[in-house]
Amino acid sequence: MLNGLIRKNFRKITLAFLAILTIGSLSFVPSQSVWAARLAKATPMPTNIAIGDSGSMNIDVADDPIMTVAYSGDGHYLAAGFKNGISFYDASTQKFLKTVDLSFSENEAEQLVFSPDNKMMAAITRHKDSSESATSTVYVWDLTDWSMLFSIEEGRGAVSGLAWNSKSTLLTISRDKTDDNGNAVFIYSLDGALQESHESPQVSSLAIHTEKDRLFYGNPDGFLYIYDTSASHYQGRVKFHPANIDSLAINPAQNLLAAGDEDGNLMMLDTSNGNAFLLKEKAVSFKSGVSLSPDGSLTAYCTSKGNLALSQVNVIEPMQTLYSGTDKESCNATAFSPDGSILAGGFTDGNMRLYRVDRTSLKTPDHTAPFAHEVLPSSTPTVKSGISLNEIPVQTIPTLSKGAIVDSNSSEIKVLEKKIELEDFISLYQDQLQYPVEFSGTSNNTLLAKDRTAKNRAEIVDGTIINVMDGNRQIHVSLAANGLNLTTITFSPKDDLIAGGTTDGTVFIWNYLTGEKKCEIFTTPNKVRALKFNHGGSLLAAGYGNMKLDLFSVESCTRAGTLPDTVKPVNQLTFSPDDQYLVTAETDTSAQVFKISTQESLFKFVPDFSRNGLYSAVYNPDQTLVAVGSYEGILTIWNVNSRELLLRLSVGSDDNPITNLFFSKDGTKLFACLKDKTCSILGVPAK
């Protein structure tokens, strides 16, 4: 034991001394990492004995756990990342070469990625302060002269993935919670300058298909997102399991992608057709360290017991255990050599263990063994253009009585009733409401909705389930959105359909009588804040937290159009009675009118008193007026043709804003519902 202590202390003193000597010989600025040559800690063995003679080799890298291992594409380098450093070895001889010292900021190297041209290496490092708060930094080094090219710091979120483009000229970085709108992916050039960025879902792991310019994002909710970098849009999404995908790997041939999640599932994706398969359940560890052999025939991973395991990709069994882990030495990471002959594993005891890959031990007599025992759902289809917006039929506007609201002022408004409880209001005025109808809260969450017959109602339960009930409040069907959190729901006015939006940007459409899912549409990774069918039932409008507005064809489940971005997110969407226009209630205090056929913004109604935004904006039945409800509880009514303000009236307050507005069928009443779930009934006498 004493000899061991002397050995470890001697090594640390030696390393410190060598680092001081090296600093003097290298021209680095003080903020850069320092490459410090030191003695290799490889397990002593004759240099003329190949790894294949014993089948394995142990390299004692550090006192701290190995977090990541990586081979350069040319097979020259083998690198291991750990707390306070990254060590490099000659991959063919296992001879120690260099160590990059990260102790200046106590950074833990969590991911290493060599550039395709093998001239650079990028690393994600993480630093935890005394309060266990973590910050991330990305470092990029030039391996030709061991200098650092640039670094990227991320103080507000966490860097969760790295990927190079095929030409080694751009580095893609996924960062979580970088701003109020969510997460993003950033692309940097080799001078450290930001070239472009795009919004993303929360990313737990990242991989790139360089030949096809595709990015793959592993998500904490168990989704794999596919992003086309050349076209700058999401190609689709695959649902694996409802658990964090913490490890992704794509083989050099780029025809196969492997993923491991926190529940211990090992999954595969055929990148050519988007087919996903579950290979093993409850097999991999919390940090699964998944890797693929260059030819895509083998996969290596760390098991839930800490073992280093090897399996064939195309069969479930057998699994070869290369090293049996313990509490003190469990597997953390894996990497295949470029020729697929060697498998490297990083362990928590600071050792890197290398194994000669023996394919004969993995052969199975079952040549027709299935690829996997469970085929996962197919990917969400790519959203393409659907129906022509110019061909949307004009809806017939009902004839109104003379008692309809017309040009008036607040003195002529009659408050017929005030502070009616929401459920009582629905019951008392059910014959005067226009169906379907939805009631929303102040967080854009739908409180309840009623279908076009007024006989069925829907509510969101526990955030992830829609219960559709009959008039006796008996549940007819429950609808699930793949475990995603639901934000808003709306019924179709023409068919037995209900649409739901989720926090990750997915739009679902179901038949609420049969429970069958008709559509699952994904176009942008941001919260769906508002949904609305047009009166003809052919279009579904969606408003997102990133200010985007989409129009979807209900029949084909494809995108029919995209309206110009709003300045701030929308709270509510409403089609005009003839379906030719869409009005939005926005958080920038404006109600904006869009023309559907031309997909252009026409004008805005902007209440000059509103400081915080609008919750509701609706047309009256004859399409001459728009009523708007604000965060301050103030109602305004506007003339659609002249765009003049006709009326302003305080109905609620700052603490009790107007969340929903509805005109009666004949247009003689306006119903204003507030945050406290009470409604007031307003009427205007005929002139």
Render 395-439 in DSSP notation, one character per residue: PPPPP--TTS--S--GGG-EEEEEEEEHHHHHHHTTTTS-SSEEE
Give the Å distances, CA to CA, from 83 to 80, 128, 140, 181, 290.
Answer: 10, 11, 17, 32, 21
Q: E strands of 422-553, at which residues?
A: 437-440, 446-450, 457-461, 465-469, 475-480, 486-491, 497-502, 506-511, 517-522, 528-533, 539-544, 549-553
The Cα 105–Cα 128 span in angstroms is: 9
CB count, 10 Å around CB of 656? 15
The Cα 45–Cα 170 span in angstroms is: 40
CB 263 within 8 A of CB 245: no
CB 82 within 8 A of CB 107: no
Name the β-bridge partners of 344.
335, 354
The Cα 593–Cα 618 span in angstroms is: 11
Token digits for 609? 């008193």
Order of strands across the sheet that contains 308-312:
291-292, 298-302, 308-312, 319-323
The Cα 356–Cα 372 span in angstroms is: 26
Contacts of 467 (CB under 8 A, 6+ apart): 458, 459, 461, 475, 477, 478
The Cα 458–Cα 478 span in angstroms is: 9
The Cα 415–Cα 557 span in angstroms is: 43
The letter for the amino acid at 117 is D
Task: List, by residue range, all CATH 2.130.10.10 domains of the chain.
Answer: 2-19+30-46+56-358, 402-433+591-687, 435-563
CB 552 within 8 A of CB 572: no
The Cα 392–Cα 538 span in angstroms is: 8
Name the β-bridge partners of 448.
439
Cis peptide before 569 (omega within 30 of 0): no
Q: Map 145-214 to HEC letters.
A: CCEEEEEEEECCCEEEEEEECCCCCEEEEEEEEEECCEEEEEEEECCCCEEEEEEECCCCEEEEEHHHCE
Q: What's the angle, vertex CA 311, arms to CA 307 and CA 313, rounded to 5? A: 140
Bridge-based pairing of strands 194-200 and 465-469 is unpaired
> Could you tell me how far CA 286 lies from the centroid of its own chain?
20
Residue 4, helix vs strand vs coil: helix
Q: What is the pLDDT of residue 433?
A: 93
Residue 635, helix vs strand vs coil: strand
CB 354 within 8 A of CB 66: no
CATH of 2-19+30-46+56-358, one of 3.30.1130.10, 3.20.20.70, 2.130.10.10, 3.40.50.10490: 2.130.10.10
The Cα 680–Cα 173 span in angstroms is: 51
Closest CA to 245 of 273, 265, 275: 265
Token digits for 598? 């031309």
Closest CA to 182 of 529, 442, 447, 490: 529
Token digits for 47? 């240099």
The Cα 513–Cα 456 span in angstroms is: 10
Token digits for 1? 């034991």
Closest CA to 302 of 316, 321, 288: 288
Residue 23: φ, ψ to 5° = -60, -40
> Could you tell me how far CA 259 lies from the centroid of its own chain?
16
Per CATH, is 402-433+591-687 categorized as 2.130.10.10? yes
SS3 content of the chain, % helix, strand, coil (to 5): 5, 50, 45
Name the β-bridge partners of 616.
629
Tokens 């060697």, located at residue: 342
Residue 631: φ, ψ to 5° = -60, -30
CB 335 within 8 A of CB 343: yes
DSSP 653: B
Q: Residue 622, by phi and psi: left (phi above 0), alpha (psi -120 to 50) or beta?
A: alpha
Token digits for 106? 């106590």
CB 314 within 8 A of CB 54: no
CB 568 within 8 A of CB 444: no
**Alpha helix positions (H), 27-107:** 51-54
Q: What is the pLDDT of residue 133?
A: 67
The Cα 684–Cα 687 span in angstroms is: 9
> Could you tell me how far CA 55 lies from the centroid of its own chain?
42
Q: What is the pLDDT of residue 450?
A: 95
Q: What's the angle, vertex CA 639, arms to CA 633 and CA 641, rounded to 5? A: 145
Q: How many CA atoms lie within 13 A of 553 on its CB side?
A: 17
Mark the ranges of the chain whose per-residue pLDDT is less than 50.
1-49, 52, 178-181, 366-375, 406-409, 685-687
Residue 109, helix vs strand vs coil: strand
Q: What is the pLDDT of residue 383?
A: 59
CB count, 10 Å around CB of 4? 8
Per CATH, is 435-563 categorized as 2.130.10.10? yes
The Cα 570–Cα 89 span in angstroms is: 55
Q: What's the angle, vertex CA 464, arms to CA 459 and CA 468, rounded to 5? A: 30
